[in-house]
Amino acid sequence: MAKGGFLSALLAERNSSSTTGFAWRSLYYIYIGIPLLALYYVVFHVILSILVVPVMTLLGFGVSSDYQQRVQSALERSDFQELARMVMAESWVLGFAKLGLVVVMYHFGALDLLLQPVYYITKV
């Protein structure tokens, strides 16, 4: 890997002979690639949460209705500090459940299909 880490290695991998190609590649990753990866990461975790929460509720690990009401009231008041505090306090169980789902998807080969957009975004 090139000095500077993963992103520098990606940028130097192709078009390394021309500085113009390197500049366009840098601009692509800064303004298009990295925001698309961040958006895909958020969408991926929201979908995982949508899949995991009903299963957790069936097993008795679901979030309480009091927690849901507190989140709703924090959203209505636009109190994002309170919302972040609640999510960080209550989300460790959800995080482990999502990790378990990702491991299961990897085991059955579904994760490769879900990560195809990441491959195409970083293929430039």
User: What are the b/e assignments for 80-94, b being 16+ CB within 10 Å?
Assistant: eeebeebeeeeeeeb
Residue 27 lies in a domain: yes
What average pLDDT does this structure show over 108-116?
85
The one-letter amino acid code at 100 reads G
In this predicted structure, what is the pLDDT of residue 2? Answer: 46
Domain membership of residue 73 as a residue range: 6-121
- Structural domain count of the chain: 1
Q: What is the pLDDT of residues 52-100, one digit of tens each?
A: 877 777 777 766 667 677 777 877 887 777 766 766 666 677 778 888 8
Lowest mean pLDDT segment, chosen from 3-7, 20-24, 46-50, 71-75: 3-7
Asked if pLDDT for residue 123 goes beyond 70, the answer is yes
Is residue 71 within 8 A of residue 90, CB to CB? The reply is: no
Residue 1 lies in a domain: no
Tell me, rounded to whole angstroms, the distance of Cα 53 from its chain centroid.
17
Residue 67 lies in a domain: yes
